[in-house]
Chain A
Amino acid sequence: MRIPILKLDDCLLVSIQWELDDQTALQFQEDLLQKIHETSSNGVVIDLTSIDFIDSFIAKVLGDVISMSKLMGAIVVLTGIQPAVAITLIELGIGLDDVLTALDLEKGLEKLQQELGE
């Protein structure tokens, strides 16, 4: 099953609603970059509110897709990281430093607008 990527003005919105397996995560990486390319979007918000755990593989896929998007010229903001997810990621030793984050989707979109200087 593919993760839907929605276009909103010049941004893309993604809400990950179910536990990611490896294939879905890797497919998402390709789909997002393709969608950025097709729509010339310069910002992406990925909402993780429904995700209750992130292991090192998913963290790497997310970190990589953020770097790849940046290479293309799009900024990514992660939103809605749950307390349990934040705790386990740090304990695992994954800080996801230099990644833009916000508490929820609304604040994420605000942050994106700020970063894009609008």
Chain B
Amino acid sequence: MNIQSCITIINEWDIVAARQLGRNVAKELGFGTVDQARITTAISELARNIYLYAGKGQICIDKLSEGGKAGLQIKAVDSGPGIREIRQVMEDGFSTSGGLGAGLPGVKRLMDEFYIDSTPGQGTQIKATKWLR
């Protein structure tokens, strides 16, 4: 059974709301403090990408239960400009915003599973999962 809740990201305050939701769900599921920090940070990065690049989108937090394993999935969906060179944005140090370039490769390292799908002109969908050990 999957339980989902979503936050619409339009402004900076929604980034705070999204990571608070994620932290609460992570706590509920029994993740330790380090994994809670990983999940919160990953949500913050994904929500900020939506805010900076797409202007509007959604962060959904799913509780996953699969073959006796429990986990948390972050889904970041937007209908912004999309990413033309996915391979390039998955390289460390690549940034178009003048940030630290930690973005997506960082999120991938923080989580156990990472999936990205993007179509230029249509938007981006990212799923990142952390399993309870």
A56 touches B102 (CB 8 A): yes
Residues of chain B at interface, number, CB under 8 A:
26
Interface of B is mostly: helix
How far apart sit A36 and B102, CA to CA, in the bound complex (Å)? 30
Give the contact stretch, choosing among A9-17, A39-47, A85-93, A107-115.
A85-93
On B, residues with C-beta under 8 Å from A are: 12-13, 15-16, 19-20, 33-34, 36-38, 40-41, 44-45, 48, 92, 99-103, 105-106, 109-110
Instruction: Show 25 residue pairs from A and B whose CB-CB distance is below 8 angstroms, ordered by the A residue.
Output: A19-B16, A21-B15, A22-B12, A52-B33, A52-B36, A52-B37, A52-B40, A53-B36, A53-B40, A53-B44, A55-B45, A56-B99, A56-B100, A57-B99, A59-B102, A84-B36, A88-B41, A88-B110, A91-B106, A91-B109, A91-B110, A92-B110, A93-B92, A93-B102, A94-B102
